Structure 1
Amino acid sequence: MKKLALLFVILLSGILAACGNNAENAEALSEDKLVVGVTAGPQEQILEAAAEVAVEDGLEIEIKVFSDYVLPNTTLAEGDLDANSYQHKPFLDEFNEDHDTDLVPVGETILNPMGVYSETYDNIDDLPQGATFGLPNDPSNGSRSLFILEEAGLITLDEENKETASIHDVVDNPLELEFVELDAAQIPNQLSEVDAAAINTNFALGAGISPKDDAILLESTNSPYVNYIVVRAENQDDPVVETLVNAYQSDKVKAFIEEEFEGSIIPGWED
């Protein structure tokens, strides 16, 4: 028994030592090339502009495009991406908690002001009693759409659960809005089926909808939902990450955003 106990201690010590060495000796990202994930649309376009700046600093950026909000994070956590650029911090925090991952934000990118749209009504004040309202079915963007409605005075949310509000936390709903939770990417295609809906900017633009011109209600510019470049925690201090962030936050990329999107997307690193 003593020999078995001693063997167990030796094996356990070896495992712990190996884990410690892995943490301390995490492989740094390449200084010459990064593989970065984005969602299709504006995020992809803006990263392409950042890649043109990065190459001037000797950094090649290979862009991988995704069509949903989950795979860019799971692929990053699994090590098949070096970074991604598509999400705000509330979404990232929720993802880390749900998937037991350790992904960290390293630099602000853009604000995609979420808008409310309707094929029937031209003003948010025109919504009738009992109107159907579509909103994203993922927790963070669902909460975000409810915040917009509350800011406009259409609903009141439970103060205790405000940061993670769902449709079940609506405590006052004078219009008796009927909430319909939908996949965020599909809401533009289903807009005709509801009286109004909250749509993420990238999906709106992808469907030919202009947040600036077509929204009947637009998220205010003091929104906390700024997007970030995200990496694994073990790589957050790698010098190449700073190179990537600096390329993205350059004057050239800022000018591209302002010219290309005309206020529908806002550089998020500005004070």
Structure 2
Amino acid sequence: MKKLFLLLLSVFVLLGLAACGTASSEDENKDSNSSGGETSGTEAGEEKAKLVVGATSVPHAEVLEEAKPLLAEKGVELEIEVYQDYILPNKDLDNGTLDANYFQHIPYLEQQMEEFGYDFVNLGGVHIEPMGIYSKTIGSLDEIKEGTVVIMSRSVADHGRILSLLEREGLIKLKEGVNKVEATVDDIDENKLDLEFDASIDAGLLPQFYEREEDALVAINTNYAIEAGLNPLEDALILEGSESPYVNIVASNAEDENDPALQTLIEVLQSEEIQTFIEETYEGAVVPVH
């Protein structure tokens, strides 16, 4: 009788373990299926694409900050890396630190690609920053004296732009037939006031030279001028017009040209909302591309 009891007890224990194993397996399958559903749902509609975009602080990073919520609505999370120079944003785009950058105009992009062999593409234009020529002490063109020094950045891509402004005001004349976008000081044919040119300065330092160099003309990129508290429309002695070909663009690596998140980025930056923001915020010192 005792043996029969032990035998029955063993059977019951085995059946109980089997039932627990089945329940555990079912629970695991249920959890697994549930987890899989959540993952699928996130991938289908909740998980956002992420972009890391490099930009100089003003106005580029400010424009990107305004675009952030609009991008989020379209499923793109934006991280902004702010730079204070024109060299690192392209280096970091090339090495994969950035997905795109937004700080440069087309001639500068083309010059950088030629010099460093970057395989970049222009995804589209966003705005124009009119180049300005400033002076702390010279109040009008008539006050420019013979031998005045014109201080400009070491960026060759901006030299033709600056020289074209001086030519427009009758201060110099460029050689006949020269490509004004690519013009250099060597292309000056007439220089009525014997202006001298210093093209050895980093662009970000130009506002400092404006503050301390008396009786000089200083060509300052609008982003650095605004950052230094200058109003291009009021403070520039000579200011580029909105017809400028120097459109600031978003650049990416060529292999990413058709990336959906990058296409959404340029779509938002060219949207009516962002164009209106640029017009209202910078009041003509930065001109949106329509």
TM-score by length of 2: 0.80
Provide the rounded CA distance (Å) in 2 between the counterparts of 1:53 and 1:151.
40
Provide the rounded CA distance (Å) in 1 between the counterparts of 2:243 and 2:252.
25
What is the SS of the residue equivalent to 1:163? coil
Shift of 1:242: 1.5
**Corresponding residue for residue 256 of structure 2:** 235
Larger Rg: 2
Correspondence for 2:77 among 60, 74, 92: 60
**Corresponding residue for residue 77 of structure 1:** 94
Shift of 1:249: 1.1
- What is the identity, as a one-letter code, of the residue corresponding to 1:167? V
Using the TM superposition, name which of 158-167 and 240-249 deviates more. 158-167
What is the SS of the residue equivalent to 1:171? strand
- What is the identity, as a one-letter code, of the residue corresponding to 1:59? V
**Corresponding residue for residue 188 of structure 1:** 207
**Corresponding residue for residue 249 of structure 1:** 270
**Corresponding residue for residue 142 of structure 2:** 125
**Corresponding residue for residue 232 of structure 2:** 211
Is the Cα–Cα contact under 8 Å of residues 131 and 219 in structure 2 kept in the other structure? yes
**Corresponding residue for residue 133 of structure 2:** 116
- Structure with higher RCO (Cα < 8 A, 6+ apart): 1
**Corresponding residue for residue 99 of structure 1:** 116
Is the Cα–Cα contact under 8 Å of residues 161 and 180 in structure 2 kept in the other structure? no
Shift of 1:59: 0.6
TM-score by length of 1: 0.85
Shift of 1:161: 5.0
Determine if the alignment matches structure 1 residue 200 to structure 2 residue 218: no
Is the Cα–Cα contact under 8 Å of residues 52 and 99 in structure 2 kept in the other structure? yes
Is the Cα–Cα contact under 8 Å of residues 31 and 240 in structure 1 kept in the other structure? no
Q: Deviations over 1:127-177 (max 9, x none)?
A: 111111111111001221111111222111223353321112211110111
Correspondence for 1:134 among 145, 151, 165: 151
Provide the rounded CA distance (Å) in 1 between the counterparts of 2:181 and 2:132.
19
What is the SS of the residue equivalent to 1:223? coil
Q: How many pairs does the alignment contain? A: 240
- Taking only aligned residues, the RMSD between alpha carbons, in angstroms, comes to 1.4
Structure 2: 5+ residue stretches without partners:
1-46
User: Deviating runs (4+, > 4 A) in structure 1?
Assistant: none
Correspondence for 1:49 among 66, 69, 87: 66
Provide the rounded CA distance (Å) in 1 between the counterparts of 2:165 and 2:73.
40
**Corresponding residue for residue 163 of structure 1:** 181
What is the SS of the residue equivalent to 2:137? coil
Provide the rounded CA distance (Å) in 2 between the counterparts of 1:267 and 1:224.
13
**Corresponding residue for residue 176 of structure 1:** 194
Is the Cα–Cα contact under 8 Å of residues 118 and 197 in structure 1 kept in the other structure? yes
Q: Deviations over 1:108-133 (max 9, x none)?
A: 11100010111111222321111111
Percent of counterpart pairs with the same letter?
Answer: 40
Structure 1: 5+ residue stretches without partners:
1-29
Is the Cα–Cα contact under 8 Å of residues 57 and 82 in structure 2 kept in the other structure? yes
- What is the identity, as a one-letter code, of the residue corresponding to 2:172? I
Is the Cα–Cα contact under 8 Å of residues 146 and 194 in structure 2 kept in the other structure? yes
Q: Deviations over 1:160-204 (max 9, x none)?
A: 353321112211110111111222111110113152111000110
